[in-house]
Structure 1
Amino acid sequence: MSVRFQDKVVVVTGGSRGIGKSIAERFAREGARICVAANEALVHETAQALRDAGAQAISVVLDVTDKVQVKAMYEQVARELGEVDVSVQNAGVITVARLEDLTEAEWDKVMAVNTKGVFLCCQEATLRMRAAGKKGRLINTASGQARQGFIFTPHYAASKFGVVGITQSLAKELAKTGITVNAFCPGIITTDMWAYNDAAWGKLMGDYQPGELMAEWVAAIPMGRAGTGEDVAGLVSFFASDDAAYITGQTVNVDGGMFMS
């Protein structure tokens, strides 16, 4: 594999597992210095695995909804790895509930992590990129639900439509600086979140046993399989590369053909 990102500094939030972990692993294999951040101690194990594989990596336990913590993370990255070149805003949460059961607390948490968290990280990363004179990359995790909302998750759909709006707005504002801002919409990916989705939606949509509803959905994907974290990481690494220097404000589906737009 090439070393396109030799000596580049990459931050990945939500990097302890799933898509974020795969993204961090891809950048590490291509020579980047990595900060993986998440709201759980597991992120330290992820960083250690990256170091064991030969990468320079640090880990931060982080609440992306807290501006003070976000600022402190990027300051730590600058001290220990160098100023950020690529920031991947991947931290996200979901809950599934009927309209009458969906609480304000659930709404507020999902919007705060998925949308405010993206904004705060983009804001701080941009400040540091501009101060360092870097033509950096901001890459945001949206969702298939940024294309079309789905039953029992209006708060999640709203948060992910919001990610696309943030991406487009910042792309226009930052275009003349050389900083690009793009997003991606993963479909059904084999992660812990999708194991939860299968169980939670399955309970509300019928008498499904674990795995049955997801199997139905996967069967309807034109490419005939669920995606992997590696499928997503390939697109993210492209967005971060010099090959994508003239691409900004875009949101690309990674879903095997579920949504074609």
Structure 2
Amino acid sequence: MADAGLFRDHFAGRTVVVTGAARGIGLGIATAFAGAGADVIMVDRDDQVRQAAEDGRAAGLRLTAVPADVTRESDVAAVFDRVAELTGRLDVLINNAGVITINELEHTSLDDFNRVLAVNTTAAFLTARAALPLLRQGDGGVILNAASGQARQGFIYTPAYAASKFGIVGMSQSLAKELAPANIRVNCYCPGIVRTEMWAYNDREWGRRLGDYRPGELIEEWIDDIPLGRPAEVDDVANLLLFLASDAAVYITGQAINIDGGMFMN
């Protein structure tokens, strides 16, 4: 779990919703905000989210699981109805849910393409729209959307993923302008290589298409191009989000912020 550090108790009394929270980066984000005092609603279509919340509560964290498919409008509406019942407020929405498809163009089906955009981009639209009434009830709020290094430069064999991440940045900038008068800030976070199960999948699938790579070899090559010399840990991403959602970042909106060890410098 990320050390709340400077943000310990900073989010006490605040409600945070995290999508894609059953594992990986999403789970790390959820536990980091709970460690900083927030009431955290963990949303995921995988029922594993219930166990993750139960484990966190056993450690004294204020975590509640709300299983839902964030690509379904009715599920999203039900999530925020539940938030209203549980805490009656919403301060931070973190759209972390994401999927990737790695394949040659000729083998990428329309269903695959649409599914990636639905989870990575359309779901963020649905959750932001459904969350807006609760966000407006307070003095302001924060929306943080998961982008990627692929919002800076599309990688080979991932046309849907790259499109979804470029799209999330543009949508976030539009929402930042629209919602600023309501004191609702909207930013993106752009991870590079993060040490998670998803990156093991990425290594295998890209390696299979790019050449005869042994497991881990492709990621090792990419890490060689990172100035700080290592992949990100989940805590690195969570710590950035604690800052962006905090009162220390009240003048930051409409930005897409890299968290990649210098892999992309634009």
Shift of 1:73: 0.4
**Residue identity opposite 1:14 in structure 2:** G
Partner of 2:244: 239
* Equivalent residues, number: 260
Shift of 1:231: 0.3
Question: Per the alignment, in what secondary structure is the counterpart of residue 182 of structure 1?
Answer: strand
**Residue identity opposite 1:142 in structure 2:** A
Q: TM (normalized to structure 2)?
A: 0.96
Shift of 1:220: 1.5
Gapped runs of 5+ residues in structure 2? none
Deviates more, 1:47-56 or 1:83-92: 47-56
Partner of 1:79: 85
- How much is the aligned-residue C-alpha RMSD, in angstroms? 0.9
Partner of 1:224: 229
Where do residues 104-115 of structure 1 align in structure 2 (5 Å cutoff)?
Answer: 104-115=110-121
Partner of 1:173: 178
Partner of 2:190: 185
Q: TM (normalized to structure 1)?
A: 0.98
Where do residues 111-126 of structure 1 align in structure 2 (5 Å cutoff)?
Answer: 111-126=117-132
Partner of 2:147: 142
Shift of 1:223: 0.5
Shift of 1:211: 0.9
Contact 2:230 / 2:261 at 8 angstroms: preserved in 1?
yes
Q: Aligned partners of 1:80, 1:244: CA distance in 2, in Å?
A: 27
Structure 1 consecutive aligned stretches of length 4 or more whose deviation exceeds 2 Å: none
**Residue identity opposite 2:16 in structure 1:** V
Contact 2:31 / 2:61 at 8 angstroms: preserved in 1?
no
Deviations 1:106-129 (A, max 9, x none): 001001110100111111112221
2:24 is the counterpart of 1:18: yes
Q: Aligned to 1:211, which of 202, 205, 216?
A: 216
Deviations 1:183-236 (A, max 9, x none): 010000011111110000000000111111111111211110010110001111
Question: Per the alignment, in what secondary structure is the counterpart of residue 228 of structure 2?
Answer: coil
Contact 2:89 / 2:138 at 8 angstroms: preserved in 1?
no
Gapped runs of 5+ residues in structure 1? none
**Residue identity opposite 2:129 in structure 1:** Q
Partner of 1:91: 97
Where do residues 59-78 of structure 1 align in structure 2 (5 Å cutoff)?
Answer: 59-78=65-84
**Residue identity opposite 2:167 in structure 1:** G
Shift of 1:149: 0.4
Question: Per the alignment, in what secondary structure is the counterpart of residue 169 of structure 2?
Answer: helix
Q: Aligned partners of 1:43, 1:136: CA distance in 2, in Å?
A: 25
Q: Aligned partners of 1:48, 1:117: CA distance in 2, in Å?
A: 25
Q: Aligned to 1:47, which of 30, 50, 53?
A: 53
Q: Aligned partners of 2:54, 2:113: CA distance in 1, in Å?
A: 34
Shift of 1:35: 0.6
